[in-house]
Amino acid sequence: MSDFYQTGVVANLHRLGRANEHKIESELEVFGKQRPIALVLPALYSEFESGALQRIIQELKTEVSYLRQIILTLGGSDAGQFSQAREYIAKLPQQVRIIWNDGPQVSGLFQMLEENDLRIGPPGKGLFRMARGIG
């Protein structure tokens, strides 16, 4: 269960105005020591090839010290691409977990859901959001 509760379709916006990145990151450093912070990073394998994900991973590696864990949900990949992505993201100093959306276990779960009339939606980054009925 999450640490907050929201009602309605639109999230509340807090602290509107100019953001002070250094202050926010300092607060996250302090908070992260008390309550471990994880990042769920949905990605398609094509984002590794385009360079977008390499830039994100480099930033997480060198600039973000308050994250304890990174969970990559990887879609659009075969077994070889999954292995390459796993090797690349293993360079991160944080604890890393990968959910292979196209792998046999997760694909089997999706198939079982579909067989039981629970529509999960089309493949892609929004797949889990659609499976939960959020989107």
Nearest-CA neighbor of 60 among 25, 8, 106, 108? Answer: 25
In a domain, 6, yes or no: no
67-75, strands of its sheet edge to edge: 37-44, 67-75, 95-100
Domain extent at residue 45 = 21-102
pLDDT digits (tens, 9 = 90+) for 12-28: 556 656 778 888 888 88
In a domain, 2, yes or no: no
Query: pLDDT value at position 127?
Result: 62
Instruction: With a cut of 80, say whether residue 130 has pLDDT above it.
Output: no
Instruction: With a cut of 90, say whether residue 135 has pLDDT above it.
Output: no
In a domain, 25, yes or no: yes
Query: pLDDT value at position 114?
Result: 87
Report how many domains make up the chain. Answer: 1
pLDDT digits (tens, 9 = 90+) for 78-125: 999 999 999 999 989 999 999 998 899 988 888 898 899 888 777 766
